[in-house]
Chains A and B, each alone.
Chain A
């Protein structure tokens, strides 16, 4: 574990010594909980309709696929006309795109980003690398199936999927959300231990809190 995460005694500027334990002091240990739906189905449907129309993507590129998102942000393919836009921070986003191969090192960052996003939140896997490892199937450094580590709602196949495929994927994602099937965050909370066990199996130097939010 990194030195700055270890429990230690620190001397303050006033000379008083005190103990800090960063993983306890700065992070909440509580695991995520399942968010119940609205009290009546018709209201939940209304919520889902609204959610489907406001997709905010975290601008986090992992593999070659990140390059395909740029044409979507610009006039040529312009995803904004479908109410899809990109944000620079996980706090302001509700859709995490894993855009291609994911090395275990990046997986660590992706998990933290995902956990910091607000529910309801969705995960889309782009490209064959996220589905079965793609051309990195025998690589020592990349995960082979994303849904072992994060609750994936939708895969977009291709190597690389073209921007049109992404646009179609966004429309499918909207349909899923509107049908009330965008329950990834709840799935993650329900199977939290399973996801954590999978994540820790590949991240050998786990040096972060189990859940960050």
Chain B
């Protein structure tokens, strides 16, 4: 991986390499270089498979992190590309023309995180949710408990036990 990294580094302004395993590493890419790097990796380096495209909400830093995970089947190694986006009005270029499957991921990210992918096919259609009325539910500032309490009637009488305490009481009533 180090070797590949130093080669890539000469071509693209990359961040630090984080090696998780021998065959798995992550690297941060500036948003505007992602596309050319993806094409380079796919066409020159044999990373032909887009494993997944997902997002992380770094609420405290006001950043969305997109992770593009690519695999080189022949060499059996995986490289993750991280792109940091400003959280406000987050927009990213679509890569559905490089990997058509990306369109599905982008639709999901649009719905669950509210990240815009202009020109991605059907990206504005409902994906999993139907008739959603609040902010995108995977954003960390979305309060799921509050939403549930406001929207669904609860059955009274629900209690929560601390499992350790509860079992202690049950197994050794009155004991220590």
Which A residues contact B (CB, under 8 angstroms)? 104-105, 108, 131-133, 137-145, 148, 198, 201-206
Q: Which residues of B contact A202 (CB under 8 A)?
A: 151-152
A150 → chain B closest CB, angstroms: 14
Please determine whether B148 and A144 come into contact, CB atoms closer than 8 angstroms: yes
Please determine whether B132 and A204 come into contact, CB atoms closer than 8 angstroms: yes
Please determine whether B144 and A205 come into contact, CB atoms closer than 8 angstroms: no
Please determine whether A132 and B151 come into contact, CB atoms closer than 8 angstroms: no
Q: Which residues of B contact A131 (CB under 8 A)?
A: 155
Q: Which residues of B contact A203 (CB under 8 A)?
A: 130-131
Interface of A, secondary structure class, is loop
Please determine whether A138 and B148 come into contact, CB atoms closer than 8 angstroms: yes
Q: Quick check: is B133 within 8 A (CB to CB) of the other chain?
A: yes
Q: Which residues of B contact A198 (CB under 8 A)?
A: 153
Contact digits for B126-137, partner A, Cβ 8 Å, 1 yes 0 no: 001111111001
Q: Which residues of A contact B142 (CB under 8 A)?
A: 140
Closest to A128 in B: B158
Residues 140-154 (chain B) with a chain A CB within 8 angstroms:
142, 144-145, 147-148, 151-154
Number of residues of chain B lying within 8 A (CB) of chain A: 20
Q: Tell me how many residue pairs across A and B have CB atoms closer than 8 Å.
A: 58
Q: Which residues of A contact B147 (CB under 8 A)?
A: 140
- Given A108-B130, A204-B131, A204-B132, verify A132-B148 contact (CB < 8 Å): no
Contact digits for B3-31, partner A, Cβ 8 Å, 1 yes 0 no: 00000000000000000000000000000
Please determine whether A144 and B131 come into contact, CB atoms closer than 8 angstroms: no
7 cross-chain pairs, A with B, having the tightest CB-CB distances, nearest first: A205-B131, A204-B131, A138-B145, A132-B155, A145-B155, A144-B152, A140-B144
Closest to A132 in B: B155
- Given A137-B158, A138-B144, verify A143-B152 contact (CB < 8 Å): yes
* Separation of A116 and B154 alpha carbons in the complex (Å): 28
Closest to A201 in B: B151
Partner of A145, one of B128, B137, B151, B154: B154
- Given A131-B155, A145-B153, verify A105-B129 contact (CB < 8 Å): yes
Given contacts A133-B155, A148-B153, A198-B153, 12 further A-B contacts (CB under 8 A): A104-B130, A104-B131, A108-B130, A132-B157, A133-B154, A138-B144, A144-B148, A144-B152, A145-B153, A203-B131, A204-B131, A204-B132
